[in-house]
Structure 1
Amino acid sequence: MMNSANEWQTALLAFLSEAQLLLGKSEECLSHLHLIRNDSDAIDCMKASLAKLAEKADGLALQAISEFSGHLQNLIANAQSPLQLHDEALDALHDCLTLLAWQLELIDTRTGELSLDESEQTSLIATVALQIPQKDLSHKPPHVHHRS
């Protein structure tokens, strides 16, 4: 728990600096995947960077950043074929990373507030989910035979 506004502000500034590095690392991994699709190290690095960004944002109660980063990480982690991401999937992920970078720039460094309309996040997550088929994590219902 932070004891003063100064400690919190210092923690926020440190987070923003680290967040920029984590986003930069994710963007490098994404660029690498455009060149070499089946690079599991690049995918693992991007998942780890997004997970760490979500964790760090959560620690400062930056919910919008935490949830968006975490959701992206989960979509990549639960991909049916993470080593076969096509251009549209990579482009959708790039759009998400661009939005995250923009949102980090908009965080008020005095209050930590981020005023935003979450519709763009929601729309981008939906696009990524469409472009990256997910593993079926639910149990399929048993097949029901219909009598005629």
Structure 2
Amino acid sequence: MLKDGHECAPPLPEFLLEAQALLAKSEDCLSHLHLIRNDEEAINCLLASLLCLAQTAARHSISPLAEFALHIHGVLKRTAHPVDLNDPILDALKSCLTLMAWQLELIDPHNGQLNLDDSEQALLINELTDQVAQNCTCAYPSCTH
């Protein structure tokens, strides 16, 4: 779709459908990881879904959701070694995805605004970061954070 020679972002209802599908895919990957821990295909799927969700939200200027998804992606990607996705990490990820689902529900369907206090996001990111750091320290003594 072009407007004044520039590509426009798809309308908000399409974004909401796409974001919900990406979140559902992330949740499916997480459920798979609860069954088959550290499955590389499921981890890559989760990371790709989070990154795509962040990019899609950013295109629609829904910064809180974009930044949250990108931050989760970054926490999982920045370790020097592959992280062992143990139960505490998977639980922290589940909490993050649950908050994202609520955030999608709170997006104003008319103007795309998501007005919220980001303290819960920060709390969940810190929890996930702490769990990943503890795992990295225990499993890989030479790992740097």
- Asked whether the equivalents of residues 40 and 83 of structure 1 are also in contact (C-alpha less than 8 Å), the reply is no
Aligned equivalent of 1:124: 124
How many Å apart are 1:79 and its aligned residue?
Answer: 3.2
How many Å apart are 1:38 and its aligned residue?
Answer: 2.2
Aligned equivalent of 1:112: 112
Which secondary structure does the structure 1 equivalent of 2:11 belong to? helix
Structure 2: gaps (5+ residues): 137-142
Instruction: Kindly provide the amino acid, as one letter, of the partner of residue 136 in structure 1.
Output: T
Partners of 1:99 and 1:24 in 2: CA distance: 13
Aligned equivalent of 2:90: 90
How many Å apart are 1:59 and its aligned residue?
Answer: 0.4
Partners of 2:84 and 2:60 in 1: CA distance: 35
Partners of 1:49 and 1:61 in 2: CA distance: 18
For residues 47-74 of structure 1, give each alpha carbon's deviation from its aligned partner in whole angstroms, at most 9, with x where no partner exists. 0000000001000110000000000011
Q: Kindly, what percent of the aligned residue pairs are identical?
A: 48
How many Å apart are 1:83 and its aligned residue?
Answer: 5.0
Aligned equivalent of 1:66: 66
Runs of 4+ residues deviating >6 angstroms: none
- Asked whether the equivalents of residues 39 and 83 of structure 1 are also in contact (C-alpha less than 8 Å), the reply is no
Aligned equivalent of 1:50: 50
- Asked whether the equivalents of residues 92 and 124 of structure 1 are also in contact (C-alpha less than 8 Å), the reply is yes
User: In structure 2, do the counterparts of structure 1 residues 83 and 125 end up closer, same or farther at CA, with 3 Å as the change threshold?
Assistant: closer
Structure 1: gaps (5+ residues): 138-148
User: In structure 2, do the counterparts of structure 1 residues 24 and 51 end up closer, same or farther at CA, with 3 Å as the change threshold?
Assistant: same
Cα-Cα RMSD: 2.1
Query: Could you tell me the TM-score, scaled by structure 2's length?
Result: 0.84
Query: Could you tell me the TM-score, scaled by structure 1's length?
Result: 0.82
